[in-house]
Amino acid sequence: MRYFFYLIFFFGYTTILAQDLPKLFKGTVQNEITEVPMQSVHVINLSRVIGTITNKKGEFEIDASVNDTLYFSYVGYKPLKISVTADMLKFGNSTFKLTGLAFALEEIILRPYELTGYLEIDVKNAPINSAGRYSISGLPNSGYEAGNRNKGSISKALGALFNPTDFLYNLFGKNPKQLNKLKKMRADDEIKNLLVSKFDREVLVQLLGIKKIDLEEIIRNCNYSDLFIKESNDLQILEAISSCYEEYKVMRGSK
């Protein structure tokens, strides 16, 4: 009886392990309206932080397990996120359809500055950068941007300077292992190729599992300017976060 119990336990345990092991998942991506296969669609396994792209026939292959999350991204199309099921892995050749985004051009009104020629009046009409910058004696940078002039912004800048590692941990959640995704993202060529063409932070948000506003807060507290946040592509943002974390980890003497 005891051996029978062990036998059942063994087969049950190996079955669970088999379910967790990644399998080669195959699928096809099409345009939702025309049903034409879509080439060069980026397919990312958010759970395993690996990526691939579709071929000329819209086909792709990627390692996946049950409950892994796949994220489909293509310029001009609405991103698609699905959870891998047992049937998908069993039967394979699943078809996924992407929906095109409709862009509506809004009217833009250009309003040049109306200069009077009087310095005192024109100075008041000139735009003012609301970001507060603070210089600290003994540190190499000329200034550290706190983001705004609200009360407490100076302490926020100082806190980020001297304890940015804790700040990153807090924003990434209670599980610091989430930061390991940074290394995986930087090691995957397909993910890097996708990020270099993106400026909306959507892929980063999905991969890192944080809110867009928190992502921007990380960059600001790593002493990058609002202009950098606005004009950088997603790969540059990823490199900035990684560099910031590694630099301050060394400063704190972390291993």
Report the distance separating Cα 137 and Cα 158, nearest Å: 12
Name the token pair of 127.
């735009």
Q: Which of 39-53, 65-79, 115-129, 147-161 comes out lowest in average pLDDT?
A: 147-161
Query: What's residue 98's pLDDT?
Result: 96
pLDDT digit string, tens, across residues 183-235 = 899 899 999 999 999 999 999 999 988 888 888 888 888 888 888 988 999 99
Q: How sure is the predictor about 137, in pLDDT bands with cuts at 50, 70 and 90? A: very low
Question: Reduced to 3 states, what is the DSSP secondary structure of residue 21?
Answer: coil
Share of the chain above pLDDT 90, in %: 39
Q: Taking 50 as the threshold, does the pLDDT of residue 123 lie above it? A: yes
Segments making up each domain of the chain, as ranges? 2-98, 119-251
Superfamily of domain 2-98: Carboxypeptidase-like, regulatory domain (2.60.40.1120)
- Contact (CB, 8 A) for 34 and 97: no
Q: Where are the alpha helices (DSSP H) in 50-188?
A: 86-91, 119-125, 153-162, 164-171, 180-187
Angle at 54 between CA 50 and CA 60, to 5 degrees: 65
Q: Is the pLDDT of residue 176 over 70?
A: no
pTM exceeds 0.85: no
Query: DSSP character for 164?
Result: H
Cα separation, 62 vs 183, in Å, equals: 19
Give, in degrees to the nearest 5, the angle at Cα 91 between 88 and 96.
50
Identify the pLDDT of residue 217. 83
Using the predicted structure, report yes or no on whether residue 162 has a pLDDT greater than 50: no
Average pLDDT, rounded, for the chain: 75
Q: State mean pLDDT over 153-179.
A: 55
Confidence of residue 167 (pLDDT cuts 50, 70, 90): low
Question: Which amino acid, 7?
Answer: L
Pick 46 or 16 by higher pLDDT. 46
The pLDDT assigned to 20 comes to 64
Residue 3 confidence (pLDDT) above 60:
no
Mean pLDDT lowest among 46-50, 56-60, 248-252? 248-252
What is the mean pLDDT of the segment spanning 32-42? 95
